Chain A
């Protein structure tokens, strides 16, 4: 076993433990627990048996198994980044909405208290 395999396995196990902890304190749903468990267990499997990608690589016409893994990883990362991007944009808009509501509400309350519209 090479060092990189060992590092991969240790990191995946660490990540798995985090996933379980997050599930225990209910910050993620059961579906997310299953999804991330599969992802990280997949990482462990690939780290232990790097050759399983070789046949897939041949099928796709990519030279080495590790390359396939890199390509797939990059695509997944880009997709996740896009999702994050969209989510953050949405949250930015929500924050603005909240800030606006607070600003207007505060002034309306003040107007009520003073009993005038000035």
Chain B
């Protein structure tokens, strides 16, 4: 499936917090697929994330104190835009996403079919999603529809692609996890043309342990409401 286009103008943005064990593998895999512009934002990690990422050859920006995934992604997107990125990918640091699937997200954008491509783990059946997680994510998708009027099959999937124009329109105020909903809110607000693309999420014990618990969803909902009011 790999379409070998020019990849120099594609920037991959990864927010990483205490990911020293996985980050090198993720970067290596991206490099293997010829993505040269990899920005890792070390979000105030207490381990050697910064060193690992640097040794693997990524550009590493460091948040001196932890500010959350939303804040880190925004830093990376801003840096990528400043350095002339034409396409921006957001990618997870824990090895959940597949580098070879980036081309699937970029393809419709390059063809001009959309300005944003959002990964969905429910459009194919390759992801091993547990039932309670599925309930949460589908519930999330429903709430996003309620809040922003965007109909999606998945919610809070960190695998996305944007054109430069679309990325510069994103005005993200949420520092923490609710940024994922906020991005969708911004897509709705600015009428950014989007498309959902099937992607495969590999849940490992590691990513499950590091990732969001289902209870955190309620915290995200609360913050979404808060951001709407204040």
* Residues in chain A within 8 A of chain B (CB atoms): 86, 89, 92-93, 95-96, 99-100, 102-104, 106-107, 117-118
Contact = CB atoms under 8 A, between A and B. Distances in A.
B203 to A, nearest CB: 30
B63 A100 contact: yes
B9 to A, nearest CB: 13
Contacts of A103: 41, 61-64, 75, 79
Interface of B: 41, 59-65, 67, 71, 74-75, 78-79, 82-83, 173, 175, 230
Contacts of A106: 61-62
Given A96-B175, A99-B71, 4 more contacts: A96-B67, A99-B63, A102-B64, A103-B64
Nearest to A92: B175
A106 B175 CA distance: 21
Contacts of B67: 95-96, 99-100
A99 B61 contact: no
A117 to B, nearest CB: 6
A104 B175 contact: no
Please indicate which of the listed interface residues B63, B75, B78 has the most CB atoms of chain A within 10 Å of its own CB: B75
Contacts of B82: 104
A78 to B, nearest CB: 16
A93 B65 CA distance: 13
9 contacts: A92-B175, A95-B65, A96-B67, A96-B71, A96-B175, A100-B75, A103-B79, A104-B61, A107-B61
Nearest to A89: B230
A90 to B, nearest CB: 10
A65 to B, nearest CB: 36
Contacts of A102: 64
In the A-B complex, the 7 residue pairs with the smallest Cβ-Cβ separation, listed nearest first, are A103-B61, A100-B75, A96-B71, A99-B63, A96-B67, A107-B61, A96-B175
A100 B175 contact: no
Contacts of B71: 96, 99-100
B170 to A, nearest CB: 14
Nearest to B79: A104
B42 to A, nearest CB: 9
Contact of B65 (A86, A99, A107, A118): A99
A51 to B, nearest CB: 42
Contacts of A118: 59
Nearest to B63: A99
Contacts of A99: 63-65, 67, 71, 75
B41 to A, nearest CB: 7
Contact of B78 (A92, A93, A100): A100
A55 to B, nearest CB: 39
A95 B62 CA distance: 14
Given A89-B230, A99-B67, A104 B83 contact: no
Nearest to B65: A99
B230 A100 contact: no
